[in-house]
Amino acid sequence: MTTEADILNALSAIIDPDFNKDIVALGFVKNLAINGGKVAFTIELTTPACPVKEEFRRQADELVSALHGVTEVDITMSSNVAPSQSKQAIAGVANIIAVASGKGGVGKSTTAVNLAVAMAQTGARVGLLDADIYGPSVPRMMGLAGYKPEIDYDNKTFYPLINFGVKTMSIGYLVEENQAMVWRGPMVAGALSQLLTDVVWGELDYLFVDMPPGTGDVQLTLSQKVPVTGAVLVTTPQDIALLDCRKGIEMFKKTNVPTLGIAENMSQFICPHCGESSPIFAEGGAERLSTEYNTTVLAHIPLDIAIREKADEGTPIVAAAPDSEQAQVYQTLAGEVARKISILNSRKIDIPVMVQQN
């Protein structure tokens, strides 16, 4: 008869590649129950976007099924996303991630939108805040242009609009699409503070903040107002974009916000006729920058007409064609971002693991 000790011993052969420790020692195995030849247990991961989630399930099924007397294995995969701080600045929001760029025109908002939707597709609870007060684009990209949020006037709070499983808020919901926001810096900072704290976000694992380009008031307000778990820097491979991306990394460094990594957008141009790829904005730039700052390249996103078309239509490519090669790039990006956050948070709450160095 197989015992609980036998099962845990078998499962200890599964090593988490990020923590370099087995899933039993990490406390991932829970609710173990044995009923005759039937074995049931839960593997609780640090994120629903874990890139090796299905591999863990496969390994666990094979290892336990091979034990003497086991006739059936029932595995439940779950997750518990740890908050970046013991005390949450925004009630219910575990992690705040800035998606930023040093300059405009590098596809930061397109990246933020597809990243948020891809993360939500894993089962994570996701929010997306459009912090670009002067040029809000989230309403159109998320298919919510023209919609207005519900307002609780008694409590002076807003309720986010939801599409593709993502809760969203933007100044673009509160003004006409063609209206110019002719505001000075303090007004912009005040608007961002309201969008952060006066929105009923509910329980979120990840709140992505689509930042305006540059290193100004909004960036400083965000880093001073709330504890930001980390930042994803978006750039193109060309030298001028990398120069500004470098400034963005330096700014977050000065405000003690870790850089989770770099997303290289427009990495290759994919010809819509022949499918051939060409590095029209040069190549290798993000790798050089990541080496300089001891970080990683999280994804190489192609310059592809389908990504642009779906963004303009209000249906992000990961929602419109989730099985496409383009969508898979963003899905990989979501997995890498979730992985980086899990590693950072494990250090902050002193989980006794050996973290693999990049």
User: Closest Cα partner for 265 from 215, 213, 227?
Assistant: 213
| pLDDT value at residue 356 | 36
What type of residue is 109? S
- Cα separations in angstroms, 40 against 31, 58, 342, 350: 8, 14, 26, 29
| pLDDT value at residue 277 | 76
The residue ranges of DSSP E strands in the chain, in sequence order, are: 15-16, 21-22, 29-35, 38-45, 72-79, 96-100, 126-130, 150-152, 157-159, 161-163, 166-170, 206-210, 230-235, 259-264, 269-270, 277-278, 297-300
Residues 6+ apart with CB under 8 A from 263: 111, 115, 232, 233, 234, 235, 297, 298, 299, 301, 333
| pLDDT value at residue 339 | 94
The residue with tokens 């090796």 is: 52
User: Closest Cα partner for 263 from 275, 251, 249?
Assistant: 249
* pTM beyond cutoff 0.95: no
DSSP letter at 93 equals B
User: Rounded to whole angstroms, how far apart are CA atoms 208 and 97?
Assistant: 5
User: Closest Cα partner for 40 from 80, 71, 79?
Assistant: 71
| pLDDT value at residue 21 | 94
User: Rounded to whole angstroms, how far apart are CA atoms 13 and 116?
Assistant: 33
Share of residues in the chain with pLDDT > 90 (%): 59
For 88-98, give one letter per residue: b (16+ CB within 10 A) or e.
bebeebbbbbb
| pLDDT value at residue 247 | 85
| pLDDT value at residue 119 | 98
What type of residue is 348? K
User: Rounded to whole angstroms, how far apart are CA atoms 126 and 110?
Assistant: 16
Give pLDDT tens digits for 263-275. 999 888 877 777 7
Residues 6+ apart with CB under 8 A from 173: 139, 144, 147, 148, 149, 161
| pLDDT value at residue 88 | 65
> Which tokens is 204 given?
């979120």
> Which tokens is 179 given?
């209206």
User: Rounded to whole angstroms, how far apart are CA atoms 2 and 346?
Assistant: 33
Give pLDDT tens digits for 77-120. 999 998 887 556 788 999 999 999 877 888 999 999 999 999 99
What domains lie within the chain, and their CATH numbers? 4-79 (3.30.300.130), 96-348 (3.40.50.300)
Grouping H, G, I as helix, E, B as strand and the rest as coil, residue 313 is: helix
pLDDT in tens, the chain (358 residues): 789 999 999 999 999 998 999 999 999 999 999 999 999 999 999 999 998 999 999 999 999 999 999 999 999 999 999 888 755 678 899 999 999 987 788 899 999 999 999 999 999 999 999 988 888 899 999 999 999 999 998 988 999 999 999 999 999 898 776 666 666 666 777 788 888 889 999 999 999 999 887 766 777 778 777 889 999 999 888 777 778 888 888 888 888 899 999 999 988 887 777 777 777 776 777 888 888 888 899 999 998 889 999 999 999 999 999 999 999 999 999 999 999 999 998 876 444 433 333 3
